[in-house]
A and B are shown apart, each in its own frame.
Chain A
Amino acid sequence: MKMYSFKGAVLGLGLAVFAAGSAAADMLADIKASGEMTFGTEMHYAPFDLLVNGQYEGLCKDLMDEVTKDLGVTPKYNDLPWTSVLPGLEAGKFQMVNAPVTITAERMERYSFTLPIADASVGLIKRTGDDRITKPEDIAGLVVGSQKGSAQLEQLKVFGEGVGGIDVREYSSVDEAYADLAAGRLDAVAGSFPLLGYAASKRPEIFETVTPVFGEKKYFAWVAVKSEETESMIAAVNEILLNMQDDGRMAKLHEKWLGTAVELPREMPAVK
C-alpha cells in the first residue's frame, strides 16, 4: 500500500533523481478497510506528545484517540526523531503526522494540513528570577535560542529586528535550548507558548515564562502528504475536529493539557 512515493532511480555513484509519483487510491478507504490508521510523531513535545513512564501521552494523542474513535478505527503511533518524521510521511511509512506542526505558507505548499488543533503563537521563557526580562521587548541585545527551521524561530528573528537586534542561536532541538538556558549560555528561549509553559510548570525553580506572546498569530495542525488520495482523509478528520469543538471535547482536552481552552478557527487560517 503506497499512496504517494518518491519514484527513485539510482544513477551512477548513488545519485538519485526523484519525482512525485501517484497511484489511484483513496487513503480514507484504505484506513476504513484495514481498521487501522498509522501516525508518526516525535514524542518530545510536551504537553502535545510525550512519554510518561514509557507510555505515549499528550494533547495530540488524546485528540487523535477521539478522532480515530469517531472514524471507527484503531490508531497506531510511531515515535521518530523529528528529522525522520516528514521523510517517513513522504516514504509512506505512516499516513499522518500527529505532531503539532505550525501552519506556514511554505509548508502548505508541500503538505496538506488539517484544521488547527492548538495555538502556536511564539513566546519566551527565561531563567527564574532574571529581572532583566519582564516583557518580550527586554530581550533586545540578549542571547536567545530557538529550534532550527521552526516557524517560531522565523518570528523571533523578525521580532528581534524590530527591537534593535538580538543574538539568535539555533538548536537542533528545543530540548538542547532548554539545557543551554539552564546552563546560562542563553538568556531566553523562544518557542510556541504552550510548550514553554509546560517546561516552566515542570521546573519552576529554573524556568519562568515571559508574557505576553508576540508576532503573528500561528496555529498547530497535523499534516498528511499533499495529494488527491489524502483529501478525503483530511476532510473526515476536519469534520470530526469541528464536532469536537461543538461538543466540548476539544475544550476539555485543552484544559487538561494546556490549562486553558482557546477559541480555534473553524476554517483554514490565512497564512502569508
Chain B
Amino acid sequence: MFSWSTIVENLPYLLQATRFTLLVSGLGMGLGLVMGMVLCVARLSPIRWISRIAALYVSFFRGVPLLVQLLLAYYFLPSIGIDIPPLWAAVCSIGLCAAAYIAEILRGALIAVPHGQAEAAAALGMHPFTIWKRILIPQALKISMPSLVNELIMLVKVSSLVSAVGIVELTRMSQSISAATFRPLEIYIAAAAIYLVINLALAGLGQALEKRLDY
C-alpha cells in the first residue's frame, strides 16, 4: 500500500535537507569550474612538468572514488595537522574531483576550436591572456556546454556522498526518514522527484546559456 501521507508529512524535512544538497553542489560547482579551467590550461601548457602534474591530478581525482577522497580529507588530514570543518571538506572534495572531469571536457572542446583563430589573434598583437579570455574560453564553453551540464547534473547526484562527513543532505534525510517510518519506497520516490526537478532546472539553464553564447 503506497502511503501518500508519508510523503506529504515528510516533504518539509526533505526540502530542508535539499538546501544542503544545493549548497554543497552549488559551491562545489563553482570551485570545480574555476579549478577545472586552471587545470585545463595547465594540461595544455608547453612546460612539461606543469602538464605532467595536471595529468597526475586528473588521473588521481578521476581514479579514486569520491567517497574515499572525502573520508581522507575529513578523517585523515586531521592526523597530519590539517583540520577542516565538514562543510568545507565536502565542498573541496566535490569541487576538486569535479575539476578533473571539467578539465578534460574543456580540453576536448579547446582542441575543437580552430587553431587559426588563436594564431590570427596573436598576429594582431593580442595578449595571450586576452586570447584565452576573449576567444578560446568562450568558444570552448559553448562547445562543451552539453557535457558540462551533464557533469553538473552528475555532481548534484554525487553530493549525496557528503553525508559521510556528517552533512544531512537529501539522500541522507531520505534514509533517516525511511529508517524511522519503515516506508523507504515512498520516501525514495519523493527524493527522486526532488532530484529530478533540480536537474531539469539545471538542464534548462544549460540550454538557455548555450543560446546566449550563440553570437
Contact = CB atoms under 8 A, between A and B. Distances in A.
Q: State yes or no: do A and B touch (Cβ within 8 Å).
A: yes
A46 B76 contact: no
Contacts of A44: 175-176, 179
Contacts of A50: 176, 179-180
A8 B165 contact: no
A162 interface: no
A179 to B, nearest CB: 6
Contacts of B80: 8-10
Contacts of A7: 79
A187 to B, nearest CB: 18
A178 B183 CA distance: 10
A178 B78 contact: no
Nearest to A85: B166
A1 B179 CA distance: 34
Interface residues of B, number: 27
B181 interface: yes
A50 B179 CA distance: 8
Given A80-B164, A207-B182, 16 more contacts: A6-B76, A8-B80, A10-B80, A40-B166, A46-B180, A50-B176, A50-B179, A50-B180, A51-B13, A81-B172, A83-B164, A87-B75, A91-B78, A92-B78, A93-B78, A175-B184
B163 A81 contact: yes
A40 B179 CA distance: 18
A185 B46 CA distance: 59
A132 interface: no
Interface of B: 12-13, 16, 71, 74-76, 78-80, 163-166, 168, 172-173, 175-184
A78 B12 CA distance: 21
B166 A79 contact: yes
B182 A178 contact: yes
B42 to A, nearest CB: 20
Interface string A72-96: 0000001111011001101111000
Given A79-B176, A88-B75, A53 B13 contact: yes
A59 interface: no
